[in-house]
Amino acid sequence: MATDVVDVIRTKRDGAPLSDEQIRFFLDGYTAGAIADEQAAALLMAIVFRGLDARELTTWTATMIASGARLDLSSVGRPTVDKHSTGGVGDKVSLILAPLVSACGAAVPQLSGRGLGHTGGTLDKLEAIPGWRADLSTDEMLAVLRATGAVICAAGGDLAPADRKLYALRDVTGTVEAIPLIASSIMAKKIAEGTESLVLDVKVGSGAFLPALDMARDLAETMVGLGRAHGVRTVALVTDMEHPLGRACGNGLEVIESIEVLQGGGPADVRAVTLALAGEMLSLAGIDPAAAPSALDDGRAMAVFDQLIRAQGGDPDAPLEQAEFVRTVPCPTPGFVHRLDARAVGVAAWRLGAGRARKEDPVSAAAGIVCLAKPGDAITEGQPLLELHTEDEARFDAAVAALTDAIEIGPEPPEPRPLIVDRIA
């Protein structure tokens, strides 16, 4: 077994594969505090440039899982299936999907995160509902899951602690953008949560973490392989994030739009992506995917949403916080909306107060953007195109500046973009 971390760093630096013993030595030592941050940062940077092969990545992920607890969901009494999204702008699908899949007979143990930068976080959105709690103990999480068939909460500190420590280091050392490190970080937490099946929503486009299709496919294939290697049935959909998903971008605004979809309405693109993911989840759970549309339209999914919110301390009937200041951005010229850049809209929403630059920053429940017109819509000159919401009027100028060159109007309708770009299983 390697006993010198410098030898481990040199091995990867020089392009050789790490042995299973070296991987376990490094991850166990770093988690325990026996290996310094600067040494871990050096190895992470070597991985950025040299990569990890399939065997290395499987061992790396398994060691991160083994660094903490692995939940036992056998008491839930239903097939368990979860979904993970790599994040986007206006992506409120989890709020609809978990109660929908539960209404069809599966259990959804959704351990979610918070937003950072231009992408929103599921927990931030649900915390716009008065009283709702993200932080549940394991016993509380299991109780909610058994009672409602779904739970959406923060991951406990005992799940994959090696990943939590590595993620914080990657965030400050320029080592986030590496497929093996991204894939193992996501999959270690999802496998540790104990779900039997997993559907991955890998976003691609301007507003996605990975804007290039080849990298998005690579990440999807890598994560599907890791899931299978660890006994979790896994499928990935690559979905479009060139434009915001739906019309609402911002925490409370997205809750409102999610409820519209749960009531059988809402934007067509949100509904389509939700039903595509629900179909995959139900298929993996051994349930007829054709059950999903009717559960969305007949009120069953909405009823589970209400139960889920109440079970976690929230009041689904309480009014949501409203922004004190609202301003519209007019269309510069008549025609058809061709482009509404997702990243620019996400950055603008962040500058209005809907997002955070650092994990400890507060977020506004009321801030955000409503897209009054989307690509393909006809629009007249001066017609409101975007509606900006904020609690601080001084934020408008920076938000509007982020939208420079984000909007493109053409004389003819644009070619529609497919929402589901690829499926990897």
Annotation says 146 is catalytic = no
Task: Report the distance separating Cα 169 and Cα 338, nearest Å.
Answer: 40
Annotation says 163 is catalytic = yes
Catalytic residue among 83, 92, 170, 247: 170
Three-class HEC string of 2-21: CCCHHHHHHHHHCCCCCCHH
How is residue 86 written in tokens?
Answer: 């790599």
Cβ atoms of 425 and 387 closer than 8 Å: no
Using the 8-state DSSP alphabet, how is residue 85 labeled? E
Catalytic residue among 189, 233, 343, 351: 189
Annotation says 185 is catalytic = yes
Buried-state track 292-313, b at ≥16 Cβ within 10 A, e below 16 = beebbeeebbbbbbbbbbbbbe
Q: Where are the alpha helices (DSSP H) in 51-150?
A: 54-66, 93-103, 122-126, 138-148
What are the residues whose beta carbons fall under 8 Å from the beta carbon of 258, sequence distance 6 or more? 92, 95, 96, 125, 266, 270
Annotation says 338 is catalytic = no
Catalytic residue among 91, 124, 163, 240: 163
Task: Report the distance separating Cα 409 and Cα 349, nearest Å.
Answer: 21
Q: How many CB atoms lie within 10 A of CB 79?
A: 19
Catalytic residue among 67, 102, 185, 258: 185
Annotation says 170 is catalytic = yes
Catalytic residue among 24, 83, 84, 343: 84
Using the 8-state DSSP alphabet, how is residue 393 labeled? G
Q: What are the catalytic residues?
A: 84, 163, 170, 185, 189
